[in-house]
Chain A
Amino acid sequence: NAGVTQTPKFQVLKTGQSMTLQCAQDMNHNSMYWYRQDPGMGLRLIYYSASEGTTDKGEVPNGYNVSRLNKREFSLRLESAAPSQTSVYFCASGLADLTNQPQHFGDGTRLSIL
């Protein structure tokens, strides 16, 4: 059972470079999410997609863009990477149930920006 798959697992970028983090889920979930995790900060929501074709900003969207390519895939793009974006990024998915919250997380992408 794959669940939520993120690629790549590790990446080092130089300031100003761009890249796209990929996420795919095979559980037929409607909702998908991108979070960043920084030491002592918990998880902070960057963007989410409640259903295919929709995306909304979370708590910390600046410097990021997203694309809900289809029901399975939700990508996160850094157009011009900055050292402040060094973090661990998690993709998650969830059912559109009463709480409509993430239930399954990927193993993360560890991103360092020099």
Chain B
Amino acid sequence: AQSVTQLGSHVSVSEGALVLLRCNYSSSVPPYLFWYVQYPNQGLQLLLKYTTGATLVKGINGFEAEFKKSETSFHLTKPSAHMSDAAEYFCAVTTGYSTLTFGKGTMLLVSP
């Protein structure tokens, strides 16, 4: 079985500050890990994914995430927040032999 835990249903940052959204996973086999972003009244958009190889993954809009097997984590970061980053972010996991399991989401709030 696989699962995902996103720490914090809401995260607030100031514009220009570091963004850190936390994701921990549980999987009995090596996982594939994903981050999606959802803007209001829209569907999800794939930000980045880890499959194999380099553990630091770069995505769209300046986001990146690092796969840390020892910590079972896949935290999402961005050095400097923009107002346009305000959205809900979902971490997700699969083993490749199963369908995707989503976390419950973290709402990112960006203040001027």
A residues sitting closer than 8 Å to B (CB atoms) are 4, 40-45, 48, 58-59, 90, 92, 98-108
Inter-chain contact B41/A107, CB cutoff 8 Å: yes
**Alpha-carbon gap, A42 to B104, bound state (A):** 4
Given A58-B99, A101-B94: A4 in contact with B43 (beta carbons within 8 A): yes
Looking at chain B's contact residues, the main secondary structure is loop
B51 to chain A, nearest CB (A): 5
**With contacts A42-B103, A45-B99, A99-B51 known, what are 11 further pairs, Cβ within 8 A?**
A42-B102, A43-B102, A48-B99, A90-B44, A92-B43, A98-B32, A101-B32, A101-B49, A104-B46, A105-B43, A105-B45
Given contacts A99-B32, A99-B49, A103-B46, contact A42 B94 (CB under 8 A): no
Q: Mark B24-46, 1 if CB is under 8 A from A, else 0.
A: 00000000101000000111111
- Check if B100 is an interface residue, CB within 8 A of chain A: yes
Number of A-B contacts (CB under 8 A): 56
| Contact-size category for B | 20 to 34
Contact of B44 among A40, A45, A58, A105 (CB under 8 A): A105
Find chain A residues with CB under 8 A from B100 CB: 45, 101-102
The 10 closest A-B pairs by CB, nearest first: A105-B43, A42-B102, A42-B104, A43-B102, A105-B44, A99-B32, A101-B100, A107-B43, A106-B43, A45-B99
